Chains A and B, each alone.
Chain A
Amino acid sequence: MDRVMVLLMGFISIMVINNLVLTKFLGICLFLGVSGRLDMGFGMGAAVTFVVTLAGTLTWLIDHMILRPYGLQVMQYVSFILVIAGAVQLVEMYVRKFFTGLYDSFGIFLPLITTNCAILGLCLFINLWDVDNLPEAAVLSLGAGLGFTLAICIMAGIRENLRMADVPACLKGAPITLITAGLLTLAFMGFAGMVR
């Protein structure tokens, strides 16, 4: 029971309290790039969730099964990025085959998931926090992905409405989006201290 509790707390913590986008600034490029429309935001969130779960779990395995026993931590970054690139390639092929419309609307952003800081960032954070068992690593990765989806969907919802608002000319586009994101982090700060 204790185990389950710890996992659940970790899940909630990474999803809302330590949300990667809003408190750790990871994945901002994507967050600003595809949050213009709700359906695209959600599709991208789903793709990132899949990749991050896969990558987080795999990199934990590689780190603990191969790199640490043989003292190869120097290779960490290189091997992490390889795993991520492989996972993204997989998703890209899948989306191109089954969701052609979505594939076209993503354009360049889909291969760019490889260079999405959220994914590598999470792998590094798992490493940094010394997560020492596989279920916890997997749950944390999934939570991080869902947290990203949550943030990008909220953002997309706000931006869809923002289009009707009368924004001063110099604030149009990126500046107002950043300021909105800032206010969103303020809202998410309300969750701080809930667990851990």
Chain B
Amino acid sequence: MAGLWGENPVLRLLLGMCPTLAVTAAVKPALTMGISVIFVLVCANIVVSLMRNLLKSHLRILMFTLTIATFVTMADLFLKAYLPAMSETLGPYIPLIIVNCIIICRAEACASKNGLFISVVDAVGMGLGFTLTLCMLAGVRELLATGMFAGHAIMPKAFVPWAAMGLPVGAFITLGLILALVNQITRKRS
């Protein structure tokens, strides 16, 4: 379960930056994204772990991507069917889970070397770490950009929204500052 903090995929390993920045303008899409990633990560790790002995080394990455692409297609179709509005908001970023480095990295670093149980636990840990980071970032950005949290207004009326936080600028700078905070905490501890 190192994925939650010690090896948090976004904050420590700097993986999966693209969805992290793109879907975090509000909490709800961020949460949906996180859950989809957990689903794909767990399923992909199970399959890769089961077939790890059959893999030829040079075709390995290709097999990983194909496995992941299959599960992402499933997640995408599911979202389209049951949450069409959310699927619209997330747009191409759901299919882009295929190329999310976190999933390939875990398949390569963990699932292709370990048994089923370890792989699943690792996937859940990494996925949760990813989701939490996403929600944290989205929480900060949504609060400052619109004065709301997950769609509920919580800031006082006098609060003037910072429109820039909802734009790409806000994403980059907020993540930069969060990373700086994490660095600072780590340095203090050691």
Chain A contact residues, CB within 8 Å of chain B: 22-29, 32, 74, 76-78, 81-82, 85, 111-112, 114-117, 119-121, 124-125, 128, 168-179, 181-183, 185-186, 189
Q: How many A-B residue pairs have CB under 8 A?
A: 127
Given contacts A29-B17, A77-B73, A115-B99, contact A170 B168 (CB under 8 A): no
Given contacts A29-B101, A77-B95, contact A189 B169 (CB under 8 A): yes
| Chain B residues in 8 Å Cβ range of A22 | 168
Separation of A76 and B94 alpha carbons in the complex (Å)? 13
Sample of 17 A–B contacts (CB below 8 Å): A23-B168, A25-B18, A25-B171, A28-B18, A74-B73, A76-B73, A77-B95, A81-B69, A117-B18, A120-B96, A120-B99, A121-B92, A124-B96, A170-B181, A182-B173, A182-B176, A189-B168
| Chain B residues in 8 Å Cβ range of A170 | 180-181, 183-184, 187
Q: When the two chains form their complex, are residues B14 and A179 in contact, meaning their CB atoms are under 8 A apart?
A: no
Secondary structure type dominating chain B contacts: helix
- Closest-by-CB residue of B relative to A78 is B69
Sorted from nearest, which 9 A-B pairs have the closest CB atoms? A182-B172, A178-B176, A179-B176, A28-B17, A182-B173, A175-B180, A170-B184, A124-B92, A25-B22
Separation of A24 and B21 alpha carbons in the complex (Å)? 9
Q: When the two chains form their complex, are residues B21 and A114 in contact, meaning their CB atoms are under 8 A apart?
A: no
Given contacts A28-B21, A175-B183, A178-B179, contact A78 B70 (CB under 8 A): yes
Out of A23, A32, A85, name the residue touching B14 (CB < 8 Å).
A32
14 new A-B contacts at CB < 8 Å, known A76-B95, A182-B173, A183-B169: A25-B17, A29-B15, A78-B66, A112-B101, A114-B61, A124-B96, A128-B91, A169-B187, A173-B183, A174-B176, A175-B180, A179-B177, A185-B168, A189-B167
| Chain B residues in 8 Å Cβ range of A176 | 176
Separation of A171 and B101 alpha carbons in the complex (Å)? 24
- Closest-by-CB residue of A relative to B175 is A178
Task: Give B95 Cβ to nearest chain A Cβ, in Å.
Answer: 5
B124 is an interface residue with CB less than 8 A from chain A:
no
Out of B21, B77, B168, B180, name the residue touching A171 (CB < 8 Å).
B180
Chain B contact residues, CB within 8 Å of chain A: 14-15, 17-19, 21-22, 61-62, 65-66, 69-70, 72-73, 76-77, 91-92, 95-96, 98-101, 104, 167-173, 175-177, 179-181, 183-184, 187
Q: When the two chains form their complex, are residues A179 and B66 in contact, meaning their CB atoms are under 8 A apart?
A: no
Q: When the two chains form their complex, are residues B179 and A174 in contact, meaning their CB atoms are under 8 A apart?
A: yes
| Chain A residues in 8 Å Cβ range of B76 | 77
Out of A25, A174, A175, name the residue touching B168 (CB < 8 Å).
A25
| Chain B residues in 8 Å Cβ range of A182 | 168-173, 176
